[in-house]
Amino acid sequence: MSSGSVVSVRGQIVVVEFLDEQPEIGDILHIENSPQDILEIISSDSHKRYFTIALRNANVFFRGAQIVNTHEGLKIPVGKELLGRLLNIFGEPQDNGQPLMSVEHRSVRKWQKSGIVIKKEILETGIKVIDVFAPLIKGGKMGLFGGAGVGKTMLLTEIMHNVIGRVGHDRYYSVFAGVGERSREGLELWLSLKNTGVMPYASLIYGQMGENPAVRFLSAYAGVSMAEYFRDVEKRDILFFIDNVYRFAQAGNELSVLTGSIPSEDGYQPTLESEMATFHERLHSTVDGMITSVEAIYVPADDLLDHGVQTIFPFLDSLLVLSRDVYQEGRTPAVDILASTSSALTPHFVGDHHYQVVIIARNILKRAQSLERIVSLVGENELSVEDQIVVKRARKLKNYLTQPFYTAEGQRGVKGVYVPVAEAVKDVNAIISGQYDSTPDDVFLYIGKMSDVVKQA
């Protein structure tokens, strides 16, 4: 081990100097005789001086303090012992459970390189609007885009429940990385997974909003390290969830500002694109297992053109855009169908019938959207008969794509439903072909399959 000294302390940023053997970016340092008080090197200040950030309490560091370099990066516990547990990035349980004993540790930043495998298969979620209009690819990446309070976390939790808890716990494990989210939201997720029986197959790691930016930034990589272990060693398929990626980008920006880096023209850190690439490149599939990621992305001021949001788009296979207007109309999940899409929406992936149904449904929704202003001014009765049919079918279709969630049963008092993709496509086709033109619109709100409604009637 090599040693150095503290040159200055600026809040969470500690500048250190090494006169002899030089450290590497990412190395963990600690105060001599106090291994629990740790720093991580995040960039260089000059030839022998480095910016570090205190991962725990910064008040213990002072000018002249002796620092020891461990020559290792931050490590996170991995293994089956983590299933059903909630940790922070230091491997400390946050669920009032027993301490982890004799578990393997892996570096948070080190990429476990292995051969990449691409599979062309759809992962059914049981959520109608996703499976029909923005299918999730096994081993692919889905982004849930939306502003505050439109249901990103609820939708993400429902996907976890439906895939792990309902159909896949014998093959799938789940890893959830909470990056920069509120403590209340983290607690609600933990309780929801326990109540729905998913928690025994999931590992949770949190870097909450109140933590310093380095902890929030590293919690995303810590979650990836867990997923890599389950994929490579346990040879499992992994559902990786992160809530949310924008906070990951924001944490990197805070670190950049603290170390005096010159921002790019849009105000974000100059390394934003490379940080996003490094994170997403590790979420790949191999011959041993697949990592399917579902990423919640906060959209500041509901502006999808924000540069921090735009940098995430190139890495995703499926885009699900949540709309505040749809949410205010009382329809959940509040998905903007016309803005959502997936690279899997091709005849090769989903089949000719599914593809054609989506094309026709989108055309109806788009045409109805163009008629909305006319309807608001002169009323629906002033439209031509053909246009009235389009507007009514679009309204029925949007109502049908609402759905009660299992993870919201406690709030709504309505039992959740799981709808197979074949049934959902069949029902959408029946609506757009006019089979339910005489059925009132309200019948389609918050139902499962139409066949169940018909039987009850």
DSSP 400: H
What the block records as the tokens of 215 is 């902890």
Angle between helices 272-281 and 213-232 (to 10 degrees): 30
Q: Identity (one letter) of the amino acid at 434?
A: G
Q: Decide: residue 119, CB within 10 A, 0-12 exposed, 13-18 middle, 19+ buried.
A: exposed
Of these residues, 152, 236, 396, 398, which one is catalytic?
Answer: 152
Q: Are 284 and 227 in contact (CB under 8 A)?
A: no
Q: Which residues pair with 322 in a beta bridge?
A: 335
Contacts of 179 (CB under 8 A, 6+ apart): 207, 216, 217, 219, 220, 242, 243, 244, 245, 247, 248, 251
Q: Which residues pair with 122 in a beta bridge?
A: 137
Q: Decide: residue 430, CB within 10 A, 0-12 exposed, 13-18 middle, 19+ buried.
A: middle
Q: How many residues does the chain have?
A: 457
Alpha-helical segments (H) within 36-176:
128-133, 152-160
What ranges make up the beta strands (E) of 180-280?
Answer: 202-207, 237-243
Q: Are 394 and 400 in contact (CB under 8 A)?
A: no
What the block records as the tokens of 220 is 């995303």
Query: Annotated catalytic, 182?
Result: yes
What H or E segment, with its residue span, contains residue 369?
helix 352-378
Of these residues, 40, 124, 158, 181, which one is catalytic?
Answer: 181
Of these residues, 10, 182, 235, 415, which one is catalytic?
Answer: 182
Tell me how far apart the alpha carbons of residues 24 and 8 are, in angstroms, rounded to a whole number. 19
> To which residue do tokens 């990621």 refer?
293
Angle between helices 245-258 and 272-281 (to 10 degrees): 140
What H or E segment, with its residue span, contains residue 141?
strand 141-146
Please state, as a whole number, how many other Cβ atoms lie within 10 Å of the Cβ of residue 364. 18
Distances (CA, A) of 307 to 147, 149, 269, 273: 15, 21, 11, 10
Tell me how far apart the alpha carbons of residues 296 and 241 are, in angstroms, rounded to a whole number. 8
Task: Just list the catalytic residues.
Answer: 152, 181-182
